Amino acid sequence: MRYLDEFQDPALARRLLDDIHATVTRPWAMMEVCGGQTHSIIRHGIDQLLPASVELIHGPGCPVCVTPLEMIDKALAIASLPEVVFCSFGDMLRVPGTEGDLFRVRGAGGDVRVVYSPLDALEIARRHPEKEVVFFGIGFETTAPANAMTVHQARALGVRNFSLLVSHVRVPPAIEAIMRSPDCRVQGFLAAGHVCSVMGVEEYPALAERYRVPIVVTGFEPLDILEGVRRTVRQLERGEHRVENAYPRAVRDEGNPAALRMLAEVFEVTDRAWRGIGVIPGSGWRLAPAFRAYDAEHRFRVGGVRTREPAACRSGEVLQGLIKPHECAAFGTSCTPRNPLGATMVSSEGACAAYYLYRRLDRAAPAEEATPVG
Ligand code: SF4
């Protein structure tokens, strides 16, 4: 299949790996920012094929995982209201809040629906003017334009019974927070290709310069990731810290101008809490004042929720790359995808779920036992 098989070619993967092995002279640690990349790395055993001195640290780029507990609890409170139809992508339904999840709300009689697009939720609002329809708008820069466009359309159509529960997050401030952490071991970044396809790369040169880290825009297939690692290693060995685009088939330097215009009109930058990490200044979006009437938090006044994370869950450390999932005592015992304690075990992009799914139940296996690429 075009654009899939050709980026999983074992012979090309071997050549890239040979190049990486030949280049590396000392230990390096780099972070893949995106949960989709983490999933691909673990699924294909890429980390086990790299030289032992190259460590991939899994970053906080799973939108389900970093949605703060307070926002999950607000979603549960809103979804429980009798007049509300609460719409969400499916993976949010199992994310544990302080008291249960959206499935539990549905089981108790709440009208919680899985949709495949925010426009589906808008359509439900149009068909049911007697209901309040809320869409759970979470995610990074990738999902934000569609949510912005839906609110824009709701206003244009005069649909007043639609609102958005917004928990959007932005990658560059998270990179900055990681680099400022006293425990930071990251020496280079594989930036998330799909985020850059929307936003472009203009926010990255200042970060690369300030923290003297290479930032390589990287895709998601095995060859994409190996190429991202290869370029990052090459820069590190040379003492360079530039921004490179290793994903040009999807990313242009200027991003997607139409999406950027929509984001600028509908959202404004705000501080945002990340689950397990805390508040990162300027790391989120909320609806701009002109669209505040479509803000579910504003409409339903669900402030004052009291949150409580499970004491055993170390997902904050996982999300910051401080531990690997199997180093959490609950991993695979009291915490599994069927009974998750934390969001990183729920989402298919969560590091804990990826480790569980691909049987990384203990320390990484030696390279000869790794799953071959492709
Ligand atoms: S294994 Fe479960 S309890 Fe441990 S950090 Fe991951 S989600 Fe939390």
Q: Could you report the per-residue pLDDT of 181-194, keeping only the tens digit for each?
A: 898 999 999 999 99
Pocket of ligand 1 (CB under 6 A): 312-315, 318, 325, 328, 330-331, 335, 340-342, 344-345, 352
For ligand 1, the distance from its centroid to the CA atom of residue 221, given in whole angstroms, is 26
The percentage of the chain sitting over the pLDDT mark of 70, rounded to a whole number, equals 94
Q: Which of 341, 346, 355 to mutate to test the pocket of ligand 1 (most atoms within 8 A of CB)?
A: 341
**115: how many CB neighbours lie within 10 A of its CB?**
18
Please choose, from the candidates 46, 61, 31, the residue with its C-alpha nearest in 3D space to the C-alpha of residue 364: 46
Instruction: Considering only residues 368 and 134, tell me which one the structure prediction assigns the higher pLDDT.
Output: 134
> Is residue 373 pLDDT above 90, yes or no?
no
pTM of the model: 0.89
pLDDT at 4: 63
Cα(223)–Cα(229) distance, integer angstroms: 10
- Distinct helix (H) and strand (E) counts, the chain: 16, 11
pLDDT at 2: 63
pLDDT tens digits along 236-263: 999 999 999 999 999 999 999 999 999 9
Average pLDDT for residues 131-157, to the nearest whole number? 97
For ligand 1, the distance from its centroid to the CA atom of residue 101, given in whole angstroms, is 16
pLDDT at 240: 98
Mean pLDDT lowest for which of 50-54, 276-280, 334-338? 276-280
pLDDT tens digits along 15-37: 999 999 999 999 999 999 899 99
Report how far Cα 367 is from the mean position of its chain's Cα atoms: 28
For ligand 1, the distance from its centroid to the CA atom of residue 348, given in whole angstroms, is 14
pLDDT at 369: 33
Q: Which of 309, 313, 323, 362 to mutate to test the pocket of ligand 1 (most atoms within 8 A of CB)?
A: 313
> Is residue 367 pLDDT above 80, yes or no?
no
> Is residue 176 pLDDT above 60, yes or no?
yes
For ligand 1, the distance from its centroid to the CA atom of residue 316, given in whole angstroms, is 9
For ligand 1, the distance from its centroid to the CA atom of residue 30, given in whole angstroms, is 22
Domains of the chain: 2-10+27-61+179-191+200-245 (3.40.50.11750)
Q: What's the pLDDT band for 371 if we cut at 50, 70, 90? A: very low
**215: how many CB neighbours lie within 10 A of its CB?**
28
Cα(227)–Cα(16) distance, integer angstroms: 7
For ligand 1, the distance from its centroid to the CA atom of residue 94, given in whole angstroms, is 14
pLDDT tens digits along 260-306: 999 999 999 999 999 888 899 999 999 999 999 999 999 998 766 77
pLDDT at 362: 58
Atom of ligand 1 lying closest to residue 351 CA: 6
> Is residue 363 pLDDT above 60, yes or no?
no
pLDDT at 347: 83
Q: What's the pLDDT band for 9 if we cut at 50, 70, 90? A: confident
Return the bridge partners of 189, or none. Answer: 31, 215
Which residue stretches of 24-142 are H helix? 35-44, 46-49, 63-66, 69-79, 102-107, 118-127
